[in-house]
Amino acid sequence: MVETGLTKRRFLKVSAAGAALGLMGTQAGADPHTTRTGPSVMTIDAGWQFRDAEEGPWRPAHVPGTVHTDLLANGVISDPFYGMNELHLQWIDKRAWDYRTELVLDAQLLAHDHIELEFSGLDTYADVYLNDALLLRADNMFRTWSADIKPHARIGTNELRVHFKSPIAEGLKRLAGLGFDPPAVDDWSEIGGIGHKKLSMLTRKAPYHYGWDWGPRFVTSGIWRPVRLRAWNTCRIVDLTIVQDRLTKDEAQLTAWFEILADADGPAQLAVTCADEAGVGGKTQIALKEGLHRYQLSFVVPAPRLWWTNGLGRPDLYRFHGTLSTQTVQDSRSLRIGLRTLKLTRKADAHGESFFIELNGVPVFMKGANHIPNDSFLPRVSREIYAREIAAAAYAHMNMIRVWGGGVYEDDAFYDLCDERGILVWQEFIFACTMYPGDAHFLDNVRQEAVDNIRRLRNHACLALWVGNNEIDTAWQNDVPDGGWGWKQKYTEAERKALWNAYEEIFYRILPEALATHDAGRFYWPSSPLAAWNGQEKVRHANLATPTQSGDIHYWGVWWGELPFSSYRTSIGRFMSEYGFQSFPEYKTVAAYAGPGEHSIYSPVMKDHQRSYIGNGTITTYMARDYVVPKDFRQFLYVGQVLQGDGVRVAMEAHRMHKPYCMGTLFWQLNDCWPVASWSSIDYYGRWKALQYFARKSYAPVLVSSWTDDGIVKVGVVSDLLDDQAASLRLRLLDFDGQLLRDETISFLLAANSAATACERPIAGLIASADPKKLLLQATLLRRDRVLAEDILYFRPPKELALPAPTITWQAHPTRTGFVLSLSSTKLAKNLYLSLADSDAQFSDNYFDLLPGVTRQIEVRPVRRLSAARLSRELTMMHMEEINRAG
């Protein structure tokens, strides 16, 4: 939603006369000499200063911002992400900090009936003063905080000051009051210099700020979202939401609900117009009542255009404008919605119970990834960064992103972009991997947080469901004495009861009740993963070992259990909401945080940028199973990315092959919050790892997937298309020099929205007497002569392949956005990796197998303009034969 009013980027003077200019208007049918004005809304983002509250000078500050980034901008600290600087910056969260600016207010603005100051985000323990009068005390970074400043404002200069208490000092007070230490496996308190005192669960603040197994510990403070001043008279729109009452192909019946705050009873008019459909909307006369009340206006959209997910159709959106008019006031709100039906279907079947998204009557397989915050310092995340991430997800054919519960409720821009790209959001409330206190203040704080964010996000077409928390049910398992992660066994009966009572209150009552009140009909799931919930207090815990399956699954047998990647083919639930494998980022990213002397995965800096305690060893263990482990650092990074991409590919394709039993696959994770070794497919700087390229192939609307199973080659096909397709599957057995040894074509019907095994062939009969170390099987799915999908299968792991030394030739052809590379080779070039030595570019494909005698066209889009001569100098290539030869 967009609030009308004047926004000044340079806030030097708050003038009602100036602000009102953009808000004056004449209503049709009204006296043309009568002026109606609405609220004046201004952003307070300039003139800010900050200081250590106990000592030190005032310095320039950026709002929105954080103490850490302001210290960095003023040259007080070095880059927090470089080397091991994190360890030297833990003093920052132990201090209190002050921020201030001046508001110059004139008499005309002060003449308004109401003057409100609104903070969209205060991180976290903040006291706000105007002219030394306390306006409010905040203790939740996820809430919107506002105060009436009229009693304390004066004509001329007014000092606005925000005092931030140390989140660590406040957390320690709360821990002492609790009397025992709650569990928090991912709170890096030792790095923070406070020993084993885990504090993250005691403060309503982003949990990942306290550290995670992919993230640093930077417990920030600051004004992290915009500050606005709103002056208004008589009445104003507090909120507008549009509810879809009924949807058919002929019409959409909608109701606009206006929430209006009024000083007195009186007549008013409500109106809704649509920017995309002339004549759509309506108006009605209402009787305003004093106080805060809701009013409705129903209307119809004929022949509605539906909102579809990425790959199934256009994500059509409608822009609506709602207006409140009285004799003296006109206020309005704008919003966008998508018209669609969406439900999460849980239906008993022979295998247990289904768990899938049905969109516009169509069961849709969810393909995507888990999202974490894009930076440890949240105000640095711009719309451009969000756009880069969501565009990458859409390009990889994703249709769902899980906003994980250890991060934040993202900015509106994130959800706007998901609306536009047709990407559904699995949204979690911000609770993860710990137990929470249950005192009355904490619970009320959570309740208000839920209401604020439900109301903010409910109009987004992308919002599919809300989930209470990440992994707490799995970790605690209250009804299983020896179940869970071993947490509850460490506590007395009274302590266990207190923690569990708080859990029940938050996740079985407060959150679902808030949804029922403010976003009725939206699906709620109390924890992920979870097998079943009866809507009250009875659950079944997620467990892949049970003979029947339901709900969602987090599978970590690969990685934490060190099981082979092939276990992905058999360890499958109804919806796979988490699984993954790590890799390091590419060399340019590593060089941004580690100097040349640190280029070993066991150097102090590289170990510091690896937060999984089994990380480097696990990567090396898996690598040694299938690959030559390189001694060269750059080659190690390359092989690690291929290892990750190919391993997670097995999971993505196995999950899709089990459609409709399994109806979702979301790998961990899409992005990073700093440059680090992690499970991400895109690193902190936006550079794609091999996994992101592999995901594009594995998530394509039509997939062909081949694998071996007990001496049998199996080739499966998956279609997300909504129409049947007459297709053919061509199998070509080739050696690495390009010689064709076998050629077979199978015709069949590729059924709509289905998965099936297209053929099975014994390996012995398929390859006969040929050397399996020198062979590949190319499976190509065609519709007439058009390639729908393709896959390549090898009969030995990469380290055992007799790879030839390829001679690769290429030409660059300029385009409007960069270049097209035409690449060819006389022999197989396996996992060909293209990069630019100094520049950044997006490649349309990478880490691919270049077959002999085949020309591949690869689009190159440099981040900055690049000449053909420079492209020629910078283009570098690496392939698997170099690794095998060096080993």
- In angstroms, the CA 612 to CA 657 distance is 31
Instruction: Compute how many other C-beta atoms are within 10 angstroms of the C-beta atom of residue 75.
Output: 8
Give phi and psi for 467, each to the nearest 5: -125, 140
Instruction: Identify the CA nearest to 437 among candidates 140, 200, 125, 187.
Output: 200
- In angstroms, the CA 593 to CA 589 distance is 7
Chain center to CA of 343: 21
The DSSP call for residue 509 is I
DSSP string, 793-848: EESS-GGG-------EEEEEEE-SSSEEEEEEESS-EEEEEEEESSS-EEESS-SE
Give phi and psi for 287, each to the nearest 5: -105, 105
662: left (phi over 0), alpha (psi -120 to 50) or beta: beta
The DSSP call for residue 595 is -
| Whether the Cβ atoms of residue 41 and residue 114 lie closer than 8 Å to each other | no
Reply yes or no on whether 102 is catalytic: no
- In angstroms, the CA 301 to CA 278 distance is 10
- In angstroms, the CA 122 to CA 108 distance is 29
Strand bridging mode 848-850 / 754-762? unpaired
- In angstroms, the CA 604 to CA 621 distance is 20
Look up residue 846 and give its two tokens: 């990478």
**DSSP three-state, residue 397:** coil
- In angstroms, the CA 661 to CA 349 distance is 10
**DSSP three-state, residue 441:** helix
Instruction: Identify the CA nearest to 92 among candidates 75, 63, 71, 64.
Output: 71
| Whether the Cβ atoms of residue 802 and residue 827 lie closer than 8 Å to each other | no
**DSSP three-state, residue 22:** helix
Q: Which helix (H) or strand (E) holds 490?
A: none
The DSSP call for residue 36 is B
Contacts of 838 (CB under 8 A, 6+ apart): 874
DSSP string, 154-207: -SEEEEEEEEEPPHHHHHHHHHHHH-S---BTT--TTTTTSTT---GGGSBS-G
Instruction: Compute how many other C-beta atoms are within 10 angstroms of the C-beta atom of residue 698.
Output: 27
Residue whose structure tokens are 């594009």: 696
- In angstroms, the CA 738 to CA 761 distance is 21
Tell me which of 449, 471, 578, 598 is the catalytic residue.
471
- The 3-state secondary structure of 793-808, one letter per residue: EECCCHHHCCCCCCCE
- In angstroms, the CA 480 to CA 212 distance is 27
| Whether the Cβ atoms of residue 21 and residue 112 lie closer than 8 Å to each other | no
Instruction: Compute how many other C-beta atoms are within 10 angstroms of the C-beta atom of residue 797.
Output: 10
Instruction: Identify the CA nearest to 222 among candidates 97, 135, 132.
Output: 97
| Whether the Cβ atoms of residue 170 and residue 99 lie closer than 8 Å to each other | no
User: What is the C-alpha end-to-end distance of the chain, expressed in Å?
Assistant: 58
Chain center to CA of 555: 19
- In angstroms, the CA 851 to CA 827 distance is 7
Mark 613-625 as b/e (b = at least 16 C-beta within 10 Å): eebbebbeebbee
| Whether the Cβ atoms of residue 300 and residue 251 lie closer than 8 Å to each other | yes
| Whether the Cβ atoms of residue 27 and residue 273 lie closer than 8 Å to each other | no
Residues annotated as part of the active site: 471
